[in-house]
Amino acid sequence: MADDPKKKGRDRELVSEQEHEVAYLMRTAKVTRQKALEAIREAGPSREKVMAFLQGK
């Protein structure tokens, strides 16, 4: 993962446990920090899979 959140490309498809990415998940999915971190650990680094996990799909 790149450290620069402004980078584009494949980095946008992935999510990590970096604070700004967890905060984004918390805002967009309206979940707690703990739930966002759990989703990343369970669903893996794919942003699409993490969002699906959080939406209960």
| SS (HEC) of 6-34 | CCCCHHHHECCCCHHHHHHHHHHHCCCHH
Predicted local distance difference test score (pLDDT) of residue 11: 75
User: Is 46 strand, coil or helix?
Assistant: strand
Structure tokens at 23: 């905060």
Q: Give, for 48, the enclosing helix (H) or strand (E).
A: helix 47-54
* More confident call, 4 vs 22: 22
Band (pLDDT 50/70/90 cuts) for residue 5 is: low
Going by C-alpha positions, the residue among 11, 9, 56, 51 that lies closest to residue 29 is 51
pLDDT of residue 7: 63
Whole-prediction pTM value? 0.77
Is the pLDDT confidence value at 22 over 90?
yes
For residue 1, pLDDT beyond 60: no
pLDDT at 57 over 70: no
